[in-house]
Structure 1
Amino acid sequence: MKKIHFNLQATLEESQFEKTFQRLFVQGSIVDHDLGRRMARLENLFQVYRSTCPVPCWSRGLAVTNEIRRVTETYLDYSLIRQALVRIVKKSLAGHFDPPQVLFTVDGWLEFLEMKALWDQHVNPAALVANLAENQADRVRFLFGLYLPQQFGGSYGRYPSQLDFLERWLTSRSEQWHLPITCLDAACGSGEGSYELAGLLLKSGFDISQFRVTGATINPLEVFAAAYGYLPHDIPREHANRQYMRSFGALPMINFVTADLKSWEPTEKYHIILCNGILGGPFLHAHEEVESVIKRLVKGMHSGGILLAADRFHGGWKKMLSQQELEGLLTRSGLTVIPASEGVAGILK
């Protein structure tokens, strides 16, 4: 299968959502011989476990002790469960996707259940996989939970000082713009920062015909979520996203594309580039890779344009590059570093 590449305009129109939904997800029930064989093996393991373990871990309110964890992991081999989950993911998406990393970061079945809040629902891994194969709605929620886990999700108001700084910078250049202003939110995730940027441009006095905002992210599910405000695994956040999208009339000026920053070549020039929550973080921190990404982004900048990068890497403990190191990489890539209220900023002269 080929990887899916999206270029989607932000919209709340149901017809566009449904068209893209059918392109992205396998519809209806999933029937797969290999998956059935894996489910049968998991069912056998679970029945042996249930008949052997005198105090089942799935009892409501029961604390998971070290003994329960040890016995469970002895009988329920997580590597076999993970293979079945990887298979259901592969058969659920209409295109090639790398397996979600969350499946490989947990140490066992109980940890996975706890992390995904599946207690008292499908402690039997065979039952979980069978339900996902049969129930499309549950399957879609499960996929979003794997690829867009809540603990890594974005939110509005993450970088307020950066927005204040950018508003002042926009105002200071009000007589110098060659319209329309083109903006890129690199590594946009589920799109909150892209919508905030569009809102800031409106607040700064620009008409919707005077700017365009593009959000770019590697994961097609994130592109889908951003374009349509769709987060079925996190309904409160979905409501917040759609309420924000309805609050202004700039949706036609916002689009989202699938792009891997490590190899993506921008197809147009941008006046403003946001690169928040990625440079120097857990997913992109090797000096040579960060520098390569910055240089690619700089190639896509208009003269006089600005690149801004801030982070919220869990209070700093996952921050791999210091601000001084990032400023050095911006300078080496041809930008003039300027004082910023939050994170780093560089201007292309």
Structure 2
Amino acid sequence: MLHFTPSLDPGVADCRLERLIPSQLDPVPIQPDLERLRRMSAACAAFCPPPWPAPGLCPTPEIHYQSELWFPLAFVRPIFNRFQRAALSCPTPPAAGVFRDALSWAGVASLLPPLLSACTTPARLLQRLVADSEARRNYLFWSGMPKRFYGGAMERYPEQTAVIRRWLERRPAGEQPVRCLDAACGDGAATYGLARLLLEHGVTPGGFRVEGWTVDPLEVWAAAHAACPHDPMRQGAFREWAAPVFAGGAERHLSFRQADLLALPPERQRFELILCNGLLGGPIINQPGEIREVVENLAHLLAPGGVLLAADSFHGGWKQKCPHHEVQALFTSAGLAPFAAGGGVGGLKR
């Protein structure tokens, strides 16, 4: 399992990325799949009329239908899943990947990033990914960390932030350290935001410890280095957001790790504040039994008097699949006293 402290040193970032996505990829196991895609692409080029899938194309139902005839996702998707497993030293969770929600190959091709814009068939894309390590890394981040997950404001839950401010104001002065967990931290923006909030409240860097946990190793690396290799504009905004944390050396008191919230870590550390945003009911944790297990595990990680906050405002999460009153009931069954917490739900461990 990956475990990184934050660093903006390019050398450190590159070294860690090499551990995650090795620059050398053995092409031999991928050749059979590539040959199959080449035959499909040749048949499509010979008989399929335009418009052909390409970045920027707005696929109509007819284009989706035509694309499925020539490049059925039931055939193409497993090929790129196998490629992803071969390219990564630490596999990403099954829910990750642009192919998961695509309606057709045309839907995938229409969203390709600039570096891959010429890869208008599955064969061209796979051939480029096998041959070019930069394109391979760009693709893996683009596929696993789509803009719909991370393209908005850095502070996604301002009402929840207000709740945390009030919690800090009520906290007895000098009661340190403040131990915080950003469970399901994603790209780490909220983790840095929490550290910023603690600094603004007057907590010294040595007076807190903030951890960000995510099951996705790509997110662990991106969070630790405030980096988005597939989206330079996002990376610039991300680093500006994280700058106050690095300015005073507070990043030494942050860490990011790969962790599965369905399984408690062996050390069983306790936290005074836990955030769990954008997860319950989302693409990874969406079954009632799994949601209950995550809530129970997070409640177990809370110190007495600690607070658990959960909210969701993107990717159709538990606002649709697990309403507030159901989350509150789960908090109660886990031994927490639920309360309204801005745009989400809060629970106090007595």
TM-score normalised per structure 2: 0.90
CA distance in 1, matches of 2:53, 2:188: 37
Task: For residues 228-258 of structure 1, give each alpha carbon's deviation from its aligned partner in whole angstroms, at most 9, with x where no partner exists.
Answer: 0121111111111112222232211110011
- Find the counterpart in structure 2 of residue 158 from structure 1: 156
User: 2:57 touches 2:110 (CA, 8 Å); kept in 1?
Assistant: no
**8 A Cα contact 1:282 1:318, kept in partner:** no
| Cα deviations by residue, 1:153-186 (Å, 9 ceiling, x for unpaired) | 26412111111111111111233x5311100000
The residue correspondences of 1:122-133 to structure 2 (distance < 5 A) are 122-133=119-130
Indicate how the Cα distance of structure 1 residues 34 and 316 shifts in structure 2: closer, same or farther if over 3 A, else same.
closer
Task: Check the 8 A contact 1:184/1:213 in 2, yes or no.
Answer: yes
Q: Secondary structure at the match of 1:338?
A: strand
2:278 maps to amino acid:
G
User: Pick from 52, 58, 61: which aligns with 1:57?
Assistant: 52
Distance in structure 1 (CA, Å) of the matches to 2:164 and 2:175? 17
**Partner residue, 2:259:** 259
Aligned with 1:303: secondary structure? strand
- After superposition, give the CA deviation of every residue in 1:107-161 in whole Å (9 maximum; x if it has no partner): 3211111243578511122111111111111110100111111112264121111
Question: In 2, are the aligned partners of 1:57 and 1:64 still within 8 Å (CA)?
Answer: no
Match of residue 42, structure 2, among 32, 43, 47: 47
Q: 1:54 and 1:283 mapped to 2: Cα distance?
A: 38
Aligned residue in 1 for 2:81:
86
Partner of 1:345: 346
- For residues 230 and 59 of structure 1, what CA distance do their matches in structure 2 show? 27
Distance 1:39 1:294, change over 3 A: same
Look up the match of 2:306: 305
Contact 1:113/1:123 (<8 A) preserved: yes
Give distance in 2, aligned partners of 1:184 and 1:172.
19
| Contact persistence 1:84–1:129 (CA under 8 A) | no
1:169 alignment partner in structure 2:
167
Consecutive unaligned residues in structure 2, runs of 5 or more: none
Q: How many Å apart are 1:339 and its aligned residue?
A: 3.5
Equivalence for 2:105: 109
- Structure 1 stretch displaced more, 278-287 or 327-336: 278-287
- Alignment size in residue pairs: 343
Check 1:107–1:230 CA distance in 2 against 1; reply closer, same or farther (3 A cut): same
Q: CA RMSD in A?
A: 2.4
Structure 1: runs of 5 or more not aligned:
none
1:38 to 33, 37, 46: 33
Letter in 2 for 1:245: A
Shift in Å, 1:41:
2.1
**Greater shift in the superposed pair: 299-308 or 10-19:** 10-19
Output aligned runs, 1:1-349, within 5 Å. 5-28=1-24, 30-58=25-53, 64=59, 66-99=61-94, 100-116=96-112, 121-153=118-150, 155-175=153-173, 178-248=175-245, 249=248, 250-265=250-265, 267-314=268-315, 319-349=320-350
Q: Distance in 2 between matches of 1:60 and 1:321?
A: 35
Checking the alignment, whether the CA contact within 8 Å between 2:214 and 2:220 is kept in structure 1 is yes
Distance 2:316 2:294 in 1: 24
C-alpha distance in 2, partners of 1:60/1:229? 27
Q: Distance in 2 between matches of 1:60 and 1:270?
A: 45
The letter of the residue matching 1:241 is: F
Moved more, 38-47 or 187-196: 38-47
Give the stretch that moved more between structures: 276-285 or 225-234: 276-285
Moved more, 115-124 or 143-152: 115-124
Distance of aligned partners of 1:348 and 1:65 in 2 relative to their CA distance in 1, 3 Å threshold: closer
How does the TM-score come out when normalised to structure 1?
Answer: 0.90
